[in-house]
Amino acid sequence: MSVRDSDIGTEFTPDILERIFEPFFTTKPFGKGTVPGLSTVLGMVRSHVGWVEVKTLPWHGPTFTVYLPAALQDLVPVELSPWQASLIGDG
């Protein structure tokens, strides 16, 4: 399974691409926020045996594609309580 998201901002230069997954790296001006954003995303994706691809073109923002396995093992049927089943609905 993959999920793709694009940004309409400016392209990432090679020096930025090398650092985007570092904790607290930002391209924002000082005082405008630094959060572990992309490093957190990468950690979660890797913990689920996935990976992230980043592509950027001149005059376009970056496109991030997250790839995750459909399932790590065979799915096992789980019996749901009536309350849990009501949350899922009848499909």
> For 27-36, what is each residue's pLDDT tens digit?
777 777 666 6
Q: How many CB atoms lie within 10 A of CB 74?
A: 5
Decide if 35 contacts 24 (C-beta within 8 A): yes
Domain that holds residue 82: 2-88
Cut 0.85: pTM above it:
no
CATH number, domain of 80, equals 3.30.565.10
- How many domains would you assign to the chain? 1
pLDDT at 17: 86
Region 5-26: mean pLDDT is 79
**Following DSSP, what letter does each residue of 33-69 receive, concatenated?**
----HHHHHHHHHHHTT-EEEEE--TTS--EEEEE--
Q: What percent of the chain has pLDDT over 90?
A: 0
